[in-house]
A and B are shown apart, each in its own frame.
Chain A
């Protein structure tokens, strides 16, 4: 491998960069939905843009505005907790990326930490060697960070112009956006069962609890099923393709 060190045209690196662009560009385009929905949820344009710049984690951002949309500032704590819980998986991704990003200086390490999201992790870990892994990580990170923030601003400006949130169906668009984030994860029995149970728990508790709390209560379903591995165990058809790369116990 070291023979190739410094080669200007490494085919694996070129392939990693192509993967980064094909994953990154469509993902960055969701930023329009986020910007429009955040404004519809009652945030101003600056608050919307700060979320994309500083939080930079789609699931957590959508969760925050979803809870604020139903409860406003009175749902502050559940909104923060929901965004934080959805951010837990980024912490796990950071652990997986530690060996790939080893040896960087403090500032690049912090930037890499900030850019540790589903897509950068997926592209980086799918590459065959260390150089391609790093190239994939940084190319995906740059593409999505720039694109996501620009598209957030565009969406916030458009959402501001649209006016009546319900008349233009933005409330339904938010539901569809959450479904789109969920959809790729519903490939095996266990996550499907957790999704249905969580939706039922949140729905039943909505008239009873303050805004935001039903969503957090639904998280308990995941902890119980995850800890006991209920409905799991049997390797599914795609056991080898799990994003966490746990691999079947052999």
Chain B
């Protein structure tokens, strides 16, 4: 598939799920199990993406400047710093460590 096809297909899938939801009777949601699975699905996918985005390099695992950058981000989120500031700070930490040659 080309990137364009991926972009269009994924957009239709996500939009379709939203529209589908408005056709389902609300009583389905009153059952806690589907709601709980959907919430935890979000948590699991985001956590997996954090791990892969921090550790993956060319199909393998590599510990590099992304790890200390993520640690700084976690501290800033714990201190309730704004999202955009944390993202910029993480980039700056990784860029600085690489510029100094302290991390790959």
Taking beta carbons and an 8 Å cutoff, which residues of A are in contact with B?
Answer: 26, 29-30, 32-33, 42-44, 47, 50-51, 54-57, 59-60, 62-64, 66, 68-70, 72-73, 76-77, 79-80, 82-99, 101, 109-110, 112-114, 116, 166-183, 185-186, 190-191, 194-203, 206-207, 211, 214-215, 218-219, 221-223, 225-227, 229, 232, 243-244, 246
Q: Which of A180, A185, A243 touches B87 (beta carbons < 8 Å)? A: A180
**At the interface, yes or no: B84 with Cβ under 8 Å from chain A?**
yes
B80, chain A: closest CB distance, angstroms: 10
A66 touches B74 (CB 8 A): no
Within 8 A of A (CB), among B1-56: 1-15, 17-22, 24-26, 28-29, 32-56
**At the interface, yes or no: B60 with Cβ under 8 Å from chain A?**
yes
Chain B interface size band reads: 35 or more
Cα A79 to Cα B45 with chains together (Å): 12
Q: Which of A43, A57, A69, A246 touches B32 (beta carbons < 8 Å)? A: A246
Cα A29 to Cα B44 with chains together (Å): 25
Closest 7 CB pairs of A and B: A94-B21, A91-B21, A169-B94, A226-B37, A176-B90, A218-B48, A169-B91
B82, chain A: closest CB distance, angstroms: 7
A195 touches B44 (CB 8 A): yes
Taking beta carbons and an 8 Å cutoff, which residues of B are in contact with A?
Answer: 1-15, 17-22, 24-26, 28-29, 32-56, 59-61, 65-66, 69-70, 73-74, 77, 82-84, 86-96, 98-99
Cα A234 to Cα B69 with chains together (Å): 35
Chain A: CB-nearest residue to B84: A29
B73 touches A169 (CB 8 A): no
Q: Which of A70, A86, A91, A114 touches B42 (beta carbons < 8 Å)? A: A86
Cα A104 to Cα B50 with chains together (Å): 39
B33 touches A226 (CB 8 A): yes
A194 touches B18 (CB 8 A): no
| Chain A residues closer than 8 Å to B66, beta-carbon distance | 171-172, 175
A239, chain B: closest CB distance, angstroms: 12
B40 touches A194 (CB 8 A): yes
Chain A CB within 10 A, most for which of B22, B40, B41, B65? B40
B10 touches A60 (CB 8 A): yes
Known A29-B84, A98-B26, A202-B52; contact A190-B40, beta-carbon cutoff 8 A: yes
